[in-house]
Amino acid sequence: MTQKELLQLCKYYRGEKENPYADPNGSLWWGGEKEFVDACKRDSTFFDFVRDMYLSALNRKQVSHTLADMTVSENKRVLIFFLDLWHGRHFPYDSLDAIFDY
């Protein structure tokens, strides 16, 4: 997936070097999207790796809400899946439902 395609999936990150958001919500998700795009740029197999994990969780019915909404593109759901995992790892004391603010 090209950087342009990855950036089209992002709601907050547009390729900036510095976080332009002052509000906590925009700032949080900008950082997660940047991490995702950077990881995909560093490793050409990263997106496929996350997609495989997402599809496995979907098949086992371990995801819900937007992650199970087939009207949302699969690639966007892969990004949201990553953000949910990323948030849980790096901000474990925040609300577990923070992804719903995305």
Digit-coded pLDDT (tens) for 63-76: 999 999 999 999 99
H-only helix segments in the chain: 3-9, 24-42, 46-59, 74-90
Residue 97 predicted with pLDDT over 70: no
Digit-coded pLDDT (tens) for 4-59? 999 999 999 999 999 999 998 899 999 999 999 999 999 999 999 999 999 999 99
Residue 62 predicted with pLDDT over 70: yes
Distances (CA, A) of 14 to 18, 49, 59: 10, 23, 31
Residue 93 predicted with pLDDT over 70: no
